[in-house]
């Protein structure tokens, strides 16, 4: 795997349109004493040396978090792979060999997510994604080598949108995590999901 040039860097993917939540930023929905995104930052931030947020539109709405906000470089909201590419570009600018991404709506992320992804990626392609027993693979919680930027840009240009298609094509290691409860990769996509997450607090 490429050298990091320091500790791991991370990007929270929050570039979606939140249609199932009724629009707006689901990460900014109230959750506990803060927001969904605040809970993600609290769990993920301590695991990385530098952290940024991938989001589109007015970056000022995230000013309270004090993070760099990087937009998709591919127009038209093509999905999370565009956010991953933006994360790779940001990491490359820092001189990092890889970047860890997580969804911006997963408030119960494992506290050992990053070290376990790093360990699993050693000796392989350098690409690793999270999974839960019985819950399938969660590829947007993954470790992405910056060296794959060209391949990912080409895939997006071809119209590829499924994250799992890309990760499988490049031999991603799949890292299993306990399924909870709480589910460490619960996506707060709907008001019902938010109610479940609040019940788990």
Confidence at 2, pLDDT banded by 50, 70, 90: very low
pLDDT digits (tens, 9 = 90+) for 150-199: 999 999 999 999 999 999 999 999 999 999 899 999 999 999 999 999 99
SS (H, E, C) the chain: CCCCCCCCEEEEECCCCCHHHCCCCHHHCEECCEEHHHHHHHHHHHHCCEEEEECCCCHHHHHHHCCCEECCCCCCCCCHHHHHHHHHHHHHHHCCCEEEEEECCCCCCCCCHHHHHHHHHCCCCCCEEEEECCCEEEEEEEEEEHHHHHHHHHHHHCCCCCHHHHHHHCCCEEEEECCCCCCCCCCCCCHHHHHHHHHHC
pTM above the 0.85 mark? yes
Architecture of domain 9-200: Alpha-Beta Complex (3.90)
Confidence at 144, pLDDT banded by 50, 70, 90: very high
Domain spans of the chain, in order of start: 9-200
């Amino acid at each position: 795997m490429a050298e990091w040039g320091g500790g791991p860097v991370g990007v929270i993917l929050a570039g979606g349109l939140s249609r199932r939540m009724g629009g707006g930023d689901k990460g900014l929905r109230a959750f506990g004493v803060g927001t969904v995104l605040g809970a993600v930052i609290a769990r993920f931030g301590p695991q990385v040396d530098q952290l940024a947020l991938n989001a589109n539109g007015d970056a000022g709405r995230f000013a309270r978090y004090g993070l760099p906000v990087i937009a998709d470089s591919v127009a038209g909201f093509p999905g999370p792979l565009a956010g991953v590419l933006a994360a790779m570009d940001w990491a490359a600018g820092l001189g990092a060999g890889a970047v860890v991404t997580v969804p911006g709506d997963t408030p119960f992320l494992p506290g050992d997510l990053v070290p376990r992804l790093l360990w699993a990626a050693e000796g392989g392609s350098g690409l690793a994604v999270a999974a839960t027993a019985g819950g399938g693979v969660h590829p947007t919680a993954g470790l992405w080598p910056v060296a794959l930027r060209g391949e990912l840009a080409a895939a997006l240009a071809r119209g590829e949108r499924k994250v799992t298609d890309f990760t499988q094509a490049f031999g991603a290691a799949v890292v299993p995590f306990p399924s909870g409860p709480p589910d460490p990769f619960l996506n707060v996509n709907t008001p019902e999901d938010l109610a479940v997450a609040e019940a788990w607090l």
